[in-house]
Chain A
């Protein structure tokens, strides 16, 4: 098991380097000079040069790449151009805010999705099954933005069921502010989750070992919850864990609309402010977290699927 983890870790290194290279190329080489975007059309030559020097853009590219790698390793991305805050601090402050929305929403959408999928798999082929699938497909076809705007307008503004936006440093008082965005998050994701989980469960239901379980005299519910579920959990876990790093970025849109000061909202502000260093840092952090989350999936696999443990 340990060797398996170490092997995966070693395999990750070229990926990390590759990613750093791609992000660097994207921002430094493809993008042209960011200072124009940051300073606007009326900047003077000396302003531009000053900013370029500040950002280290006047050094040769390979040195810039080394600097970039250093930034990653030391977790120091310099300062935000717009707010002058240290970017690493911004990130550290933003994370808890993002998580306080993301974690409850994620748990909700996963368990609800799985529960619905099992329910629907039990009733497969019936009218109930088809209706739920139709709802899911319809739900998936509406833009997330529409859900947000509709939710905010109707449920918060019009009906007054929730506050329109806001945040509170105190975790308990925060609940009222994350309720609506969490609800919207769950609604947006539920459609695709139920469909995907349903497919996973149905794939297992058609396997031979289910027939064996029935031949032993097991009833449908036990078959579903003991035999099918444990096998279906394997693809479910892959699917679910892949979404974990997104939790840290938080949902850009939800945070922005509902005034939650998480990483997503930081990124959107940075885009609106043309805050180049922040955007670059966010992309980097996001990616690295994503890669490590993949590592965790693989390890989790070993726990759930005994076939992997012995490779």
Chain B
């Protein structure tokens, strides 16, 4: 079992790009943490110049200019990482246990339990996710907690499907029957035997969901359903809508750049993880 992870890590290490992406993600996490704790880009809501001043090299704060209230766009963008990273993390924390538990129970026990769970997630996934996100966020009201819950509740389905498929495949494999024959009960078979074989799916899925969460938050915030009271890239882009007509492009740029690198990093990392953990799949050339 250990050698599988060592192998995967070795394969991953060789992909410089993947390591670099991992680095970027860690960097973003650090920035988010530092911003939250007040070590970085604080305070963000004070006026540092005239409203809508363009980017200048006056000081680091001014590098992306100011917004309508004269606040540093750079600082806002940096604080935006808090929202982005927390949204990704929390939605993954909510969705992963749900998806794993429901998927494994459905795949392992089959029969009526499976039918019920499949019916459940088929109905949820029949509602187009954007629509469902908007509906949930609308119904729960504005704010970041609605975003957390909306994302968590909608993103477990794909994971559950994958896990269920894997469990169904593995359930009949000989090593499980062998385990049964030496007296392992259901729980043991699920967690000790089959589960280690599906962890890689969980990991790959998390990296995918993280970036979906970030992109979705941007859209929800843009629609006014998301974050209130703290800077988020989505709100910045929403503001940019009106600003562009006045030739003010810097807020859009800062938010887009902020989002771009972390989403790109997750894309690359996700691909590399897929190649490292499941070499049978060829997702890249």
Contacts and interface: CB of A to CB of B under 8 A. Distances in A.
A and B, direct touch (CB closer than 8 Å): yes
Interface residues of B, number: 48
A15 B138 CA distance: 24
15 contacts: A37-B141, A141-B211, A141-B260, A142-B256, A142-B263, A145-B218, A149-B241, A249-B128, A267-B134, A271-B134, A271-B225, A272-B224, A286-B127, A287-B126, A290-B127
Contacts of A206: 282
B28 to A, nearest CB: 13
A249 B219 CA distance: 16
B174 to A, nearest CB: 25
A39 interface: no
Main SS class of interface, A: helix
B136 interface: yes
Interface residues of A, number: 55
A253 B234 CA distance: 13
Interface string A131-162: 00100011011111110011011000100000
A252 interface: yes
Contacts of A14: 119
A179 interface: no
Contact of A18 (B123, B138, B282): B123
A137 B135 contact: no
Given A124-B285, A152-B244, A199-B283, A22 B237 contact: no
A15 B124 CA distance: 9
B128 A246 contact: yes
A38 B123 CA distance: 28
Interface string B54-82: 00000000000000000000000000000
Given A15-B123, A26-B139, A286-B128, A253 B267 contact: no
Nearest to A129: B285
Of all A-B residue pairs in the complex, the 5 with the closest CB atoms, nearest first, are A31-B139, A18-B123, A141-B264, A141-B263, A146-B256
A149 to B, nearest CB: 6
